[in-house]
Amino acid sequence: MRRSLKIAGALIGLAVVAGFAVHQLNRIGEAPLEVSESVQITPALVARGEYLARAGNCMACHTVAGGAAFAGGRAIETPFGIIYSTNLTPALRSGIGEWSSSEFWRAMHNGRARDGRLLYPAFPYTSYTQVTREDSNAIWGYLRSLPAVDQANRANALDFPFNTQVALAGWRAMFFRPAAFEADAAKPAEWNRGAYLVQGLGHCAACHTPRNVLGATQDGAAFRGGLIPVQNWYAPALNAPQEAGVAAWPQADVERLLKVGTSPHATVSGPMAEVVFRSTQYLDDSDLSAMATYLRALPQQQMSADKVEAPTRVSMELGASVYQQNCAACHGDKGQGDGESFPALAGNRAVTLHSPTNVVRMVLNGGYMPATAGNPRPQGMPPYLHVLSDKEIAAVVTFIRNAWDNQASSLDATDVYRVRERRGS
C-alpha cells in the first residue's frame, strides 16, 4: 500500500512539475503588456500596415469568398480538424477593436490572444514571431482603420485532444520558441531584407518545409519541400536545382515570377498562384529584388535521385494518344509549349518532380495562373476530371513525365484515384 502511495505521489509530483515546465515554456519571451497605448495611428502608419499585410497575405486566410475583408470565418483544414480564421476588423465584440498594439504584438510574436488563450499555429506565428514590433504596430494600425464588421467568430472543429489548450501547450513546449529576426552582418542589406521577408511575413517555410506527424516543421529541413497537409499540393524544395531552386536563374526572372506569376523558366499554379495574386504582385521592386536575392543565395542541395523504371509501352502509347487529343494543341507536339502562355512540358522540372501530385491535380482540376498587372488575362487549362478516366490520366501524366527526354516515375489508376479522393474530386 505504501509503495503504491509513493508511486502515485511521484506521478502526481512529476505531473505538477511537467505542467509547470510546460506553462513556463509557453511564457518564454513574453514581456509585460503596456498599460497605456503608445502607438498613434497615422495615415503613414496605416499605409505601411496595408503594404505589410499584403506581404503577409493576411487577407487570404481571414476573408471568406464573397465576404467582408478580414472578417474571418474561412475554414482552414488541418490533419487534426478544421480551424476557422478570426475576425480582424475593429469590431468591439468579435474583432480586434479592443486590442492594444501590445496585445496584437503578443499574438504575432508569442502566439497568444488578448484573453490569454494560446493560438493554433494555423495562424503562422511560428514565422511571424520574427516580424519586428514596428511592423506589427503598422499592421495593427491598418487593421484598426478598416470598417468594423460585427461577424461572430466560428468555433473550431478539432478532434480530441487537439481541441484542448493543454495539448496545444504541449505542442508549443516541444516545437515553438519566440525569436527575433537577426540580421547577418556578413551579408548585404538586400540579402537581409529578403531573409526577413521570406522567413517572417512571407512565411514561405510554412509550405516549403516537410512536417512531422504532429504538424510541426522538421528541424534543419527548411525549404526542402513538402506536401501541404490536406490541400494535397506538393510545395517543391526551394534549395534544390531539380525542384524549385532558382540559384541559376537570372535575378530578373525570379523577380518576374514573384510579380507576374510567369517567367521564361516556370509559371505558378495552385496555392502559389494565390500567393502571387494576393500578395507578392503588390510588393515594391526593392522588396522583390531582396526576396529574389535571398532565394538565389540559398545553399543548394542535390536530392537523391529516385530509381525510375521505364514505363510500359502500353502506358506510353495510351498516354501519347490522350496527349495528342487533349494537350498538344496548346503544349505542342513535342511538349515545346508556346512561350509563357502555354508552358513547355519538355524539360519542365515541375512535371518531373518526384511527387506527381501537382501534375495529377492540374489534369484533374485544371491549371490557372494568377491575374496580375503584368499578365492580366492569363491562359488557363481546363479540368479533365469528368472527361478522362483515372487510367487515361495516369497514362498521360506518365507520358509527359517520360517523353522528350523527361524521366520520372510512372503512375497507374490507383495513384490518380488517391489524389482524387484526398480532395473529394
CA pair distance 389, 397, nearest whole angstrom = 12
In a domain, 283, yes or no: yes
The candidate with the shortest Cα–Cα distance to 317, out of 388, 386, 403, is 403
Same domain, yes or no, for 414 and 351? yes
Q: Find how far residue 233's CA is from the centre of its chain.
A: 10
Least confident of 132-141, 221-230, 413-422: 413-422
Q: Does a structural domain hold residue 303?
A: no
For residue 306, the model assigns a pLDDT of: 67
Strand order in the sheet with 157-158: 75-78, 81-84, 157-158
Position 147 in a domain: yes
The three-state DSSP-derived secondary structure of the chain is CHHHHHHHHHHHHHHHHHHHHHHHHCCCCCCCCCCCCCCCCCHHHHHHHHHHHHHCCHHHHCCCCCCCCCCCCCEEEECCEEEECCCCCCCCCCCCCCCCHHHHHHHHHHCECCCCCECCCCCCHHHHCCCCHHHHHHHHHHHHCCCCCCCCCCCCEECCCCCCHHHHHHHHHHHCCCCCCCCCCCCCHHHHHHHHHHHHHCCCHHHHCCECCCCCECCCCCCCCEECCCCCCEECCCCCCCCCCCCCCCHHHHHHHHHHCECCCCECCCHHHHHHHHCHHHCCHHHHHHHHHHHHHCCCCCCCCCCCCCCCHHHHHHHHHHHHHHCHHHHCCCCCCECECECCCCCCCCCCCCCCHHHHHHHHHCEECCCECCECCCCEECCCCCCCCHHHHHHHHHHHHHCCCCCCCCCCHHHHHHHHHHCCC
Count of CB atoms situated within 10 Å of the CB of 251: 14
Give φ, ψ of 65 to 5 degrees: -55, 125
Q: Is residue 4 part of a domain?
A: no
Phi-psi region of 409 (alpha: psi -120 to 50; beta: other; left: phi over 0): beta
What's the whole-number mean pLDDT along residues 123-138? 97
Amino acid 5: pLDDT: 44
Q: Are residues 323 and 363 in the same domain?
A: yes
Asked if 111 and 240 sit in the same domain, the reply is no
Q: Are 335 and 273 members of one domain?
A: no
Determine the pLDDT at residue 20: 52
pLDDT at 412 over 60: yes
Whether the predicted pLDDT of 8 surpasses 50: no
Instruction: Look at residue 91 and tell me if it is in a domain.
Output: yes
d(Cα 224, Cα 213) in Å, to the nearest integer? 17
| CATH number of the domain enclosing 386 | 1.10.760.10
Q: Please state the rounded mean pLDDT for residues 145-166.
A: 95
When pLDDT is averaged across residues 289-294 and rounded to a whole number, the result is: 98
Q: Is residue 228 part of a domain?
A: yes
- Choose one of 128, 151, 175: the last residue of a domain: 175
- CATH number of domain containing 240: 1.10.760
165-202 pLDDT tens trace? 999 999 999 999 999 999 999 999 999 999 999 999 99
Number of domains in the chain: 3
Q: What is the pLDDT of residues 46-89, one digit of tens each?
A: 999 999 999 999 999 999 999 999 999 999 999 999 999 999 99
Residue 10, C-beta contacts closer than 8 angstroms, at least 6 positions apart? none
Rounded to whole angstroms, how far apart are CA atoms 150 and 88? 10
22 band by pLDDT with thresholds 50, 70 and 90:
low
Cα–Cα distance for residue pair 201/376, rounded to 1 Å: 26
Note the pLDDT of residue 220. 87
Weakest mean pLDDT among 27-41, 158-172, 266-280 = 27-41
Final residue of a structural domain among 124, 149, 175? 175
- For the segment 268-290, the average pLDDT, to the nearest whole number, is 95
169 and 195 fall within a common domain: no
Please indicate, yes or no, if residue 183 is contained in any of the structural domains.
Answer: no
- Stretch 124-150: mean pLDDT: 97
Q: Using a pLDDT cut of 90, give the percent of the chain over it.
A: 78
pLDDT score of 16 more than 50? no
Higher pLDDT, 385 or 16: 385
Would residue 204 count as lying in a domain?
yes
- pLDDT reading at 287 higher than 90: yes
**pTM summary value:** 0.89
Q: Bigger pLDDT: 391 or 219?
A: 391
Say yes or no: 375 and 259 in one domain.
no
Section 145-174 average pLDDT: 95
Whether 220 and 350 share a structural domain: no
pLDDT at 19: 54
Choose between 175 and 423: higher pLDDT: 175
Least confident of 257-266, 297-306, 321-330: 297-306
Same domain? 35 vs 169: yes
Q: What percent of the chain has pLDDT over 70?
A: 92
Q: Of 297, 323, 358, which residue sits at a domain end?
A: 297
Instruction: Write down how long the chain is.
Output: 425
Buried b (16+ CB within 10 A) or exposed e, 30-57: eeeeeeeeebebeeebbebbbbbbbbbb
At position 367, the amino acid (one-letter code) is G
Q: Would you state the pLDDT for residue 14?
A: 39
Q: Determine the pLDDT at residue 423.
A: 52
- Torsion sign across C-alpha atoms 261, 267, 269, 272: negative
Check whether residue 255 and residue 337 sit in a common domain: no
Residues 288, 349 share a domain: no
Question: Residue 148 region, left (φ>0) first, then alpha (ψ -120 to 50), else beta?
Answer: beta
* pLDDT band at residue 23 under the 50/70/90 scheme: low
Domain of 253? 189-297
pLDDT at 425: 44
- CB-neighbour burial class of residue 82 (10 A; exposed 0-12, middle 13-18, buried 19+): middle
For all residues of the chain together, what is the average pLDDT? 90
pLDDT for 94? 94
Regarding predicted confidence, which is higher, 342 or 114? Answer: 114
Residue 10 is predicted with a pLDDT of 45
pLDDT digits 0-9 by tens, 77-93:
999 999 999 999 999 99
pLDDT of residue 231: 84
Residues 157 and 280 in one domain: no
Same domain for 65 and 205, yes or no, is no
What integer pLDDT is reported at residue 219 of this predicted model? 87
